[in-house]
């Protein structure tokens, strides 16, 4: 685990913010669908090249025969060109290879080339395979017992290890050069395979691989990469948010727009390169052209990455409807390119989405964020947002990080504030709304779980805060939230674990999004399925000593279940005519009681046994 320690904070608060691995990749939850790209029927011929530039999370099936790694543009730190293949402890469906034995070392992801015909080559043709690799990147780094390995397939079908690197702390990309010189490799069905060894569940054990090249006529010193390429995603058009409602945007476009949009270009040449860059913008729904930038001329030093600035245009697009979703496709490209270079990495597209939510994150989690709480103290988290005109808060979407064991039995309260004591000169907390006894959900709407407010909350223009409270003695400590580690700068997050609000010191955006405007559907069970309306009930006295009485009006059979703060069932049965439950056999503590009326579950309640 990574612990942020800041000397200026009180000693007890130093270790209360932490980050953890994601333990789940919802981008891959559907698994690879055959047909996205078809594998070649015949073997490839040299040269072989892939820099993982594309928009699919899976490897190109015309080059690779398996689909366990995650192709992305967020996990690599300063890659050679945009897109990397990420090896971790998660399988092709984005879940851990082993969810039980957390410390087992296993061969995890593999990346295997399609067959390459080397039958016309020999050792004298000086065939080399090169690639760039990086431990850690924006994920958790692989430990020393973990490793990244390369295997080559011999003519008898045996895979032979040709290269390996032990796990280490995060490092920049390095290039490996591997000679292919054994006579057993020169056959018509040659393949090579990357494999990582990982400790399941203890970390992501991330390795990133980029810019894989194989060809004849090379040598050990043939490390030059003659390419200039986009290396990271462009920044968003907005100054602070990554997304917001279009009506909120146009109410203060000048205040919301960033003056410049930045992109990264990497020059792999051994000499400086002169570039001409442009970008265009189109509204995707109607196909309306919005902007075509003038040419930006730039000189990039040898073997360096440089930020390129593009002036942001002010959109004049009229929204088709007050609440409609609007998307601008911003396409950045080299106006002139060297004909001998790869061209796929000379263009990059960034969508600017205006929808019914506010977000600081880009929708992908590289890490998880959590508060390391004391069992006897509650923990509060709040994210700051602003409205440019009055609106109505309808729901809150939260991306929860997966954890082992799962956090589905952890309870929390959703809170909306207009002020936080000590923040922005506020003298006290002003809570506008709260909703108790909520449980985390995973992977429904864009991998966020949507909590619909029981009563929509009108908000004036100005600042508001959306947060959670994890109660003391509730088992809700260490509740994981998705963390977009690529968002740099102020994260607008505050936490309170010792009675005062503190600014978060974790870089990145905690993935909590308020939804405003028209009514939305939540992703609670009653919203997903057409179940009968749940009964209401109450329990008294609470706290209780010997027994708790149940009040309800239903005449149906009522079953009860009590679970402890770890989610383990400690008592269950049928509520008899007395409508009471004997608690004398239970140890003092906090329990969750659930009632079902004729098989239909009602909302749970917290019961305190004294």
Judge contact between 245 and 360, C-beta under 8 A.
no
What is the distance between the alpha carbons of residues 406 and 358, in angstroms, rounded to a whole number? Answer: 27
Least confident of 158-162, 323-327, 507-511, 589-593: 589-593
Least confident of 62-71, 293-302, 490-499: 490-499
The pLDDT value given to residue 422: 96
Buried b (16+ CB within 10 A) or exposed e, 261-299: bebbbbbbbeeebebebbbebbbeeeeeebbebeebeee
Q: Determine the average pLDDT of the residues in 523-536.
A: 47
pLDDT higher than 90, residue 383? yes
The pLDDT value given to residue 239: 92
The CATH code belonging to domain 230-354 is 2.60.40
The pLDDT value given to residue 569: 75
For residues 392 and 344, which has the higher predicted lDDT (pLDDT)?
Answer: 392
The pLDDT value given to residue 532: 42
Residues of the chain with pLDDT > 70: what percent? Answer: 86
Judge contact between 191 and 177, C-beta under 8 A.
no
**Residue 59, helix vs strand vs coil:** coil
Least confident of 267-281, 294-308, 415-429, 469-483: 469-483
Cβ-based burial of 569 (10 A; exposed 0-12, middle 13-18, buried ≥19): exposed
**pLDDT tens, residue by residue, 156-213:** 999 999 999 998 888 999 999 999 999 999 999 999 999 998 876 545 689 999 999 9
pLDDT mean across residues, the chain:
86
pLDDT higher than 50, residue 476? yes
pLDDT higher than 50, residue 445? no
The pLDDT value given to residue 377: 82
Give the pair of three-digit tokens for residue 523.
């992703």
Check whether domain 531-609 has CATH 2.60.40.380, yes or no: yes
Strands (E) in 53-155, as ranges, are 70-72, 84-87, 105-112, 127-135, 147-153
Buried b (16+ CB within 10 A) or exposed e, 115-139: bbbbeebeeebbbbbbbbbbbbbbb
What is the distance between the alpha carbons of residues 53 and 84, in angstroms, rounded to a whole number? Answer: 8
Domain spans of the chain, in order of start: 21-223, 230-354, 360-527, 531-609
The backbone region for 462, taken as left when phi is positive above 0, alpha when psi lies in -120 to 50, beta otherwise, is left
Cα-Cα end-to-end distance for the chain: 36
What is the distance between the alpha carbons of residues 256 and 262, in angstroms, rounded to a whole number? Answer: 16
pLDDT grade for 7, boundaries at 50, 70 and 90: very low
Judge contact between 417 and 463, C-beta under 8 A.
no
One fold for 21-223 and 360-527: yes
The domain covering 21-223 belongs, at the CATH homologous superfamily level, to Galactose-binding domain-like (2.60.120.260)
For residues 372 and 250, which has the higher predicted lDDT (pLDDT)?
Answer: 250
pTM to 2 decimals? 0.75
The pLDDT value given to residue 204: 65
The CATH T-level fold of domain 360-527 is Jelly Rolls (2.60.120)
């Amino acid at each position: 685990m990574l612990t942020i320690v800041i000397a200026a904070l009180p000693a007890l608060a130093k270790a209360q913010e932490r980050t953890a691995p994601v333990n789940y990749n919802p981008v891959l939850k559907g698994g690879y669908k055959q047909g996205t790209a078809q594998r070649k029927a015949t073997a490839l011929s040299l040269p072989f090249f892939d820099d993982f530039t594309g928009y699919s999370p899976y490897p190109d099936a015309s080059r690779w025969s398996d689909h366990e790694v995650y192709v992305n543009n967020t996990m690599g730190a300063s890659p050679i060109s945009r897109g990397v293949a990420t090896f971790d402890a998660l399988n092709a469906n984005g879940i851990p290879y082993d969810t039980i034995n957390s410390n087992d070392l296993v061969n995890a992801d593999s990346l295997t080339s399609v067959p390459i015909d080397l039958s016309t080559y020999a050792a004298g043709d000086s065939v080399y395979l090169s690639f760039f690799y990086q431990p850690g990147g924006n994920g958790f780094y692989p430990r020393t017992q973990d490793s990244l390995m390369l295997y080559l397939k011999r003519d008898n079908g045996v895979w032979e290890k040709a290269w390996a690197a032990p796990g280490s702390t995060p490092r920049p990309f390095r290039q490996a050069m591997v000679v292919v010189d054994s006579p057993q490799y020169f056959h018509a069905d040659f393949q090579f395979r990357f494999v990582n060894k990982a400790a399941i569940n203890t970390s992501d054990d991330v390795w990133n691989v980029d810019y894989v090249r194989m060809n004849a006529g090379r040598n050990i010193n043939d490390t030059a990469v003659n390419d200039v390429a986009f290396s990271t995603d462009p920044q968003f058009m907005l100054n602070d948010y990554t997304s917001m409602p279009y009506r909120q945007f146009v109410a203060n476009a000048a205040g919301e727009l960033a003056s410049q949009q930045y992109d990264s270009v990497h020059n792999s040449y051994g000499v400086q390169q002169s570039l001409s860059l442009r970008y265009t913008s189109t509204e995707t729904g109607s196909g309306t052209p919005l902007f075509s930038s003038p040419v930006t001329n730039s000189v990039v030093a040898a073997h360096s990455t440089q930020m390129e600035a593009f002036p942001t245009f002010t959109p004049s697009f009229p929204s088709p409807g007050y609440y409609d979703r609007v998307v601008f496709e911003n396409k950045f490209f080299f106006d002139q390119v060297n004909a001998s270079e790869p061209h796929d990495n000379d263009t990059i597209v960034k969508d600017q989405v205006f929808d019914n939510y506010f977000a600081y994150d880009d929708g992908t989690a590289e890490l998880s964020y959590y508060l390391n709480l004391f069992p006897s103290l509650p923990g509060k988290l709040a994210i700051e947002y602003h409205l440019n005109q009055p609106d109505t808060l309808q729901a809150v979407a939260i991306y929860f990080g997966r954890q082992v064991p799962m956090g589905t039995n952890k309870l929390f309260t959703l809170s909306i504030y207009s002020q936080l004591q000590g923040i922005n000169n506020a003298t006290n907390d002003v809570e506008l709304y709260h909703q108790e006894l909520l449980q985390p959900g995973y992977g429904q709407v864009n991998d966020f779980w949507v909590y619909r407010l029981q009563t929509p909350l009108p908000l004036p223009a100005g600042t508001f805060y959306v947060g959670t409270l994890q109660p003391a003695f509730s088992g809700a400590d260490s509740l994981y939230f998705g963390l977009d580690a690529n968002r740099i700068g102020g994260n607008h997050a505050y936490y309170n674990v010792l009675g005062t609000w503190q600014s978060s010191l974790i870089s990145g955006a905690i993935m909590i999004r308020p939804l405003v405007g028209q009514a939305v559907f939540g992703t609670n069970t009653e919203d997903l399925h057409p179940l009968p309306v749940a009964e209401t009930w109450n329990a008294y006295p609470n706290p209780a000593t010997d027994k708790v009485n149940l009040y309800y009006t239903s005449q149906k059979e009522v079953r009860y279940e009590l679970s402890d703060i770890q989610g383990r069932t400690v008592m269950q049965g049928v509520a008899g005519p007395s409508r009471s439950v004997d608690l004398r056999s239970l140890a003092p503590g906090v329990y969750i009681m659930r009632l079902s009326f004729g098989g239909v579950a009602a909302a749970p309640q917290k019961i305190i046994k004294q």
